[in-house]
Structure 1
Amino acid sequence: MADAASTSGCEGTGSRVDELKSYGVLGSRPRGTVEPHGFEGLDAGCWEDSGEAQLYAERTYVFPGDKADVTQHYRAAAEREGWTPSPATRRSPEASRSTNLCFTRGEADNAAMLDVYFLTEEILDAEESKAGPEFDTGAGYRVSVTASADGSATSCSD
């Protein structure tokens, strides 16, 4: 943890980003899911906001079926990989159509958070991203694993 705490911002965080990229849940997806144009592949790195550096690895998908199938798939995938659901994720109905999911894993310098959330026009606008035609055929969503660059604990905002 001392190494992580002494890191200035994003400097020297490459191996930790690689660790986030290795989580299998990022590549897990319900049958029929596609990567939309402009969002292909795994996006990973480090960003700094207000002096706090955050590490991330994420994938964006579009699923042509019911949102409940997406939430059901990721609840099971996260459980298989050892993620702990947040209190709000535990309380949400299993068949909820639009539930965002949040899980945590690890402690101290290897703590990580997994979010699965449905994309809205507002989210895409804030990212200055455009929804391609694939978004017209189903529900766009993102699977994101994040961690603090300094190794501090991370938790879901329930």
Structure 2
Amino acid sequence: MPIRTRTTLLLAVALTAGGLTGCSGLAGLAGYKDCGGSEERVRSLGALAILDAPPEKATPPRGYEKVDAGCWDDSGEAWVYASRTYAFPGTPEEVLRHYGTEASRDGWHPGPARPPAPGKGIGLCFTRDVDGTPTVLKVYSLTRESFAAEGGAFPPELATGSGFRVEATADASGEPTDCAS
């Protein structure tokens, strides 16, 4: 059989196998990562104390009472995450001060300070290893626009004061990451 015919046949088999298995057969060939085996990392991030250490009087909006944790791999890279959403009657500056102190106590290292974009609210970033995996912790404002971008309905509790999210993320395979990622 000529080389061109064998190559065409091999490619057809690979494409068919990939289609039957949800493309996982081609994922390795393309260098993509997936969420396979990430359950322990997800549990580890979901148990981080900093997620349950909001400023006094901060409360989770209805429907956001628990840690949201999981893994996503729709971009060719797989990431594990855990987050909490809070409504806070105080100011964004109070949120910044609180998490600056709490994160430091919990062993997180501040990332490069970047002023928030106009109208975008607060944003903090910290790094630390969690169970040997480089991890990023972000604290950021939530707005109607950010919820719309996520496809969610804006909780009415966030309409007054400062709505924010605390989110830890790490590369599912344990690759280094930082606040610039």
CA shift, 1:38, in A, is 2.2
Task: Give the corresponding residue for 1:72.
Answer: 97
Q: 1:38 to 1:107 in 2, by over 3 A?
A: closer
Partner of 2:127: 104
Question: Which SS does the other structure have where 1:150 is aligned?
Answer: coil
- Secondary structure of 1:29's counterpart equals coil
- Give 2:141's aligned amino acid: F
1:154 aligns with 2:177: yes
User: By how many angstroms is 1:108 displaced?
Assistant: 10
Counterparts of 2:47 and 2:73 in 1: how far apart (Å)?
Answer: 22
> How has the CA–CA distance of structure 1 residues 49 and 109 changed in structure 2, closer, same or farther, with 3 Å as cutoff?
farther
SS in 1 for 2:168: strand
Q: Does residue 47 in structure 1 map to residue 72 in structure 2? A: yes
Matched residue SS, 1:140: strand
- The 3-state SS of whatever aligns with 2:73 is strand
Which residue of structure 1 aligns with residue 14 of structure 2? Answer: none
Contact 1:71 1:101 in 2 (8 A): yes
1:115: Cα distance to partner?
Answer: 0.2
Q: Does 1:131 align with 2:154?
A: yes
Q: How far, CA to CA, are the matches of 2:175 and 2:169 in structure 1? A: 12
Structure 2 CA distance, aligned partners of 1:136 and 1:99? 16
Offset of 1:70 from its aligned partner?
A: 0.7
Is 1:37 aligned to 2:71, yes or no? no
TM-score of the two chains, using structure 1 as the length reference: 0.85
Cα shift at 1:109: 5.2
> Residue 15 of structure 2 aligns with which residue?
none
Letter of the 2:127 counterpart: T
Find the aligned partners of 1:32 and 1:108 in 2 and give their Cα distance: 31
One-letter amino acid of the structure 1 residue matched with residue 98 of structure 2: H
Q: Distance in 1 between matches of 2:37 and 2:96?
A: 34
Superposed CA RMSD in Å reads: 2.2
1:17 to 26, 38, 42: 42
Verify the 8 A CA contact 1:108 1:151 in the aligned structure 2: no
1:58 aligns with 2:83: yes
Identical amino acids, percent of aligned pairs: 45
If asked which structure has higher relative contact order (CA below 8 Å, sep 6+), I would say 1
Query: Paired residue for 2:165, among 138, 142, 147?
Result: 142
* Counterpart position of 1:3: none
Q: Which has the larger radius of gyration?
A: 2
Ranges in structure 2 where 5+ consecutive residues have no aligned partner? 1-32, 116-120
